[in-house]
Amino acid sequence: MRRADVAMYRAKTKGKGGFEVFEPSMQEVAARRLEVSTDLERALDRGELVVMYQPFVDMTDSNPIGVEALVRWNHPRWGRVHPGDFIGVAEECGLITALGLKVLEEACTQQQAWLAEFGNEGPFSLSVNVSTRQLRDHRFVSDVWSVLSRTGLDPARLILEITESFTLDNPENAGSRLRELKQLGVRISIDDFGTGYSSLAMLQELPIDILKIDKAFVDHVADDPRRAAFARAIVRLGRTLGLELVAEGVETGAQRERLLSLGCHMAQGFFFAPALTADEVGHMLRRARMLRQTAGDRSVAAAEREAELLTLGQSLAM
């Protein structure tokens, strides 16, 4: 009976109408997932989950204009656990709501601290990923408002990143939920755009502010004409709809230059900076402020600041 349950669970994860025949490896996977879910529940109370921040920048001068909050799990026995190995488990076992709220509150609190120190010289925007299960929770909108109220963060500074799959599964419900969130004053971004099947009509109907161009289109944008054509089409689509665009996963100078030539000016990726601790972001912002304050000639200063920010971001990745 236990083996049948394991096979049935595996079939459910693949969607409706499917079936699975039990294999011994399934038992090992199920046992591992149970261990992860048990330890994850404890991790929420033990402070093992850490929020990191990856800057996104204006590619014209490499100045950071915002950060994306990313959760990391420092497990006492397994070491650093990749989000791909526990976010799905958190959704399946019902922990994603608690985990998501923890990340949201910590990130909003940190953003307020940066604003207190740097004002408008700090990251203007804070982006936080939201899972489909969180969005479907009827309490989610009120939870977001509660976090904003407790932390005092201006809603206009918060970007909630959603996936294309949420908008495709049930467009009517998605539109209703997103409009409720927009009424709070937050902005909405579609993450990994281009990997799903979003239609122009759907994008026109949904209250979206930002499209993040998926890394798959960025990887070879500088050397593959077809990928560059896709990226150009997304940029034009975004501009037509009055949306902001952010390229994900920029890793080379050639990618950066090609994206700029296509009209995309915002990006994030290892070329600029990896995911950083809050302290590392603070160090980067202080250094950027010092460069601005000590700059003489504006054109020379811009070039020096850009080189310094790139060097700093890349050195922190080591």
In degrees rounded to 5, what are phi and psi of residue 277?
A: -75, 165
- 129-to-93, 116, 191, 253 alpha-carbon distances in Å: 19, 24, 8, 27
- For residues 228-256, give the mean pLDDT: 94
Nearest-5° Cα angle at 171, 168 to 174 = 100
DSSP 268: -
Tokens of 109: 């609190």
Taking only the tens place, the pLDDT of each residue in 60-77 is 988 889 999 999 998 888
Q: Helices 2-13 and 24-46 meet at what angle, rounded to 10?
A: 70
Given a cut of 70, is residue 23 above it in pLDDT? no
Antiparallel, parallel or unpaired: β 49-58 and 63-75? antiparallel
> Rounded to an integer, what distance in angstroms lies between the CA atom of residue 213 and that of residue 229?
13
Q: Which amino acid is at 125?
A: S
Question: Residue 80: which H helix or E strand, with range?
Answer: strand 79-81
In degrees rounded to 5, what are phi and psi of residue 296?
A: -105, -90
Taking only the tens place, the pLDDT of each residue in 187-236 is 999 998 876 666 666 778 889 999 999 999 999 999 999 989 999 999 99
Given a cut of 70, is residue 17 above it in pLDDT? no
DSSP string, 11-70: HHHT-TT------HHHHHHHHHHHHHHHHHHHHHHHT-EEEEEEEEEETTTTEEEEEEEE
In degrees rounded to 5, what are phi and psi of residue 180?
A: -65, -40
Which of 56, 4, 50 is CA-nearest to residue 27?
A: 4
- For residues 11-30, give the mean pLDDT: 55
Given a cut of 60, is residue 12 above it in pLDDT? no
Only one residue has tokens 């997304």, namely 234
What pLDDT shows up at residue 199?
61
Taking only the tens place, the pLDDT of each residue in 151-192 is 999 999 999 999 887 777 777 788 899 999 999 999 999 998
Higher-confidence residue: 291 or 207? 207
> Rounded to an integer, what distance in angstroms lies between the CA atom of residue 309 and that of residue 284?
7
Residues β-bridged to residue 71: 51
58 and 272 Cβ atoms separated by less than 8 Å? no
Question: Residue 114: which H helix or E strand, with range?
Answer: helix 96-118
Q: Which amino acid is at 170?
A: N
